[in-house]
Amino acid sequence: MKKTFLKLGKQPLANSFLSNLTKKLLRQEFFYNLNVSFNSKNFLVSVSNPVNPKLQYTDNYAHRASESATMRNAFKQTARKLKKRFNPKIILEIGSNDGVFIKNFNRKKVIAVEPCKNLANLTKIRYKTFPNFWDKKLAYKIFKKSKKADLIFSANTISHIPNLNETFQAINYSLSEKGVLVIEDPSLFSVIKNNSYDQFYDEHVYVFSTLSISKVVEEFDLRLFHAEHIQTHGGSMRYYICKKDAIYRKSKKLISILKSERNNKLHKYITFKKFSIRVQKSKKALKKIFKKLKNKGNKIISYGATYKSTTVFNYCNIDSKLIDYVTDTTLNKQGRFTPGMHIPIISPEKGMNESVNYAFLGAWNFKKEIFRKEKILLNKGLRFISHVPWPQIIGK
């Protein structure tokens, strides 16, 4: 039933930025084969051989959702919208990161779950925070003696958890009878449309379609009743899920999204096979651009040490011979080296100046925000290289 359609080669963990390049650390660097498969039974697209989450979500986890103004703003708007529509009294967030979502709620109403202790420590002073992986044991611990949650929110987390059985059983136990589960994750439809194969990395165990989410939740006596497109992470979906017998009616929007996904054949293996051929061509085209620009003596850097660019660099073999350095605003990425390709990461203050001719848009999902920020350099001739939807040079 599960069939591999995409092979992205030997990959390191997307978030394992190296603190130095000593032989010892290089020897310890973990690699795995990143293959992606399609399940014809429930239409799930997933990493064929997921990595153990304990290797990924450590106490040095680098990603901070609050780093980007786009994300801070998006979560603020989402919190406002969910408060207005559902007026929740008890809110559980699974994967609360640095608190970017929960900080928009009254602290007495919120329960946060975040397995990376460095992140959980950031919220535990103000909010009830459990520094644990989400599973049934934790759900029983939290809700055995207290009222169930009437809003469970989880952004960019459910798609990271290999064991969907454990995840949804724990959710079903924790959700009140009229409660709503709202999840946000990158959209498979956007990945296919944008050729954004870099959405596949070790943490994105699943890239959901609406069709697959609808099927999967039914296995756990839950029901998808609404979905909407959102702009974050280069095209995501927000899914609204309730208990099987809850009052919510299937929305017209959901019916139309499901129809559109069927029309675009997101339930057929052939769609993904064709996508994988486009990905191979995209790799060739990107390398051609890099080599041509480098041969002409240009200085090329990369903008944003994103997890997505780990996939691109390792798949396309783009290393420090082609890219001088990567700039990133995140303090705990600066001074480190990118996973697998070992390109140095420095602050934008040090790295973004007139000496840069081209910058690979690693954080292509923040293009608008970045173009606003780099307006002066763009006016002076800086150009970006982007591989989505197709490798090309972009400017102003």
DSSP three-state, residue 289: helix
Least distance in Å: CB of 317 to ligand TMP? 22
Kind of pairing between the strands at 383-386 and 236-243: unpaired
Q: Which secondary structure element, helix H or strand E, spans residue 373, and what is its range?
A: helix 367-373
Q: What x/- string results for residues 288 through 317 when contact with ligand TMP is judged by CB under 6 A?
A: ----------------xxxx----------
> Token pair 């064709």 is at which residue?
274
Least distance in Å: CB of 237 to ligand TMP? 17
For residue 18, the 8-state DSSP code is B
Pick one of 329, 357, 367, 377: the residue that binds ligand TMP (CB under 6 A): 329
> Token pair 């709202």 is at which residue?
182
Least distance in Å: CB of 18 to ligand TMP? 16
Taking contact as CB under 6 A, which single stretch among the options 40-48, 133-141, 282-290, 363-371 is the one that binds ligand TMP? Answer: 363-371
Q: Residue 291 half-sphere exposure, CB side, CA atoms within 13 Å?
A: 8
Tokens of 131: 């520094």
Least distance in Å: CB of 366 to ligand TMP? 4
Neighbours of 395 (CB within 10 A): 11
Pick one of 366, 384, 388, 391: the residue that binds ligand TMP (CB under 6 A): 366
Q: Residue 314 half-sphere exposure, CB side, CA atoms within 13 Å?
A: 28
Which residue stretches of 62-134 are H helix?
69-86, 117-123
Q: What x/- string results for residues 138 through 177 when contact with ligand TMP is judged by CB under 6 A?
A: ----------------------------------------
Q: What x/- string results for residues 52 through 71 when contact with ligand TMP is judged by CB under 6 A?
A: -----------x---xx---
Kind of pairing between the strands at 326-327 and 175-186: unpaired
Q: Which secondary structure element, helix H or strand E, spans residue 379, and what is its range?
A: helix 375-379
- Which residue has its beta carbon closest to ligand TMP? 304
Asked whether position 360 contacts ligand TMP by CB under 6 A, the answer is: no
Would you say 103 or 226 has its CB closer to ligand TMP? Answer: 103
Q: Residue 215 half-sphere exposure, CB side, CA atoms within 13 Å?
A: 13
User: DSSP for 142-191?
Assistant: HHSSSPPEEEEEEES-GGG-S-HHHHHHHHHHHEEEEEEEEEEEE-HHHH
Tokens of 382: 């800086």
Would you say 37 or 96 has its CB closer to ligand TMP? Answer: 96
Asked whether position 330 contacts ligand TMP by CB under 6 A, the answer is: yes
Asked whether position 373 contacts ligand TMP by CB under 6 A, the answer is: yes
Pick one of 98, 328, 346, 382: the residue that binds ligand TMP (CB under 6 A): 328
* Count, residues near ligand TMP per rule CB under 6 A: 18
Would you say 63 or 109 has its CB closer to ligand TMP? Answer: 63
Nearest by Cα to 320 from 44, 78, 21, 73: 21
Q: Are 351 and 301 in contact (CB under 8 A)?
A: yes
Can you give the C-alpha Rg of the chain in angstroms? 21
Would you say 243 or 333 has its CB closer to ligand TMP? Answer: 333
DSSP three-state, residue 58: coil
Least distance in Å: CB of 147 to ligand TMP? 34
Asked whether position 203 contacts ligand TMP by CB under 6 A, the answer is: no
Asked whether position 101 contacts ligand TMP by CB under 6 A, the answer is: no
Footprint on residues 337-356 left by ligand TMP (CB under 6 A): none
Taking contact as CB under 6 A, which single stretch among the options 87-95, 186-194, 314-322, 326-334 is the one that binds ligand TMP? Answer: 326-334
**Residues found near ligand TMP in the complex (CB under 6 A):** 63, 67-68, 304-307, 327-330, 333, 363, 365-366, 369-370, 373
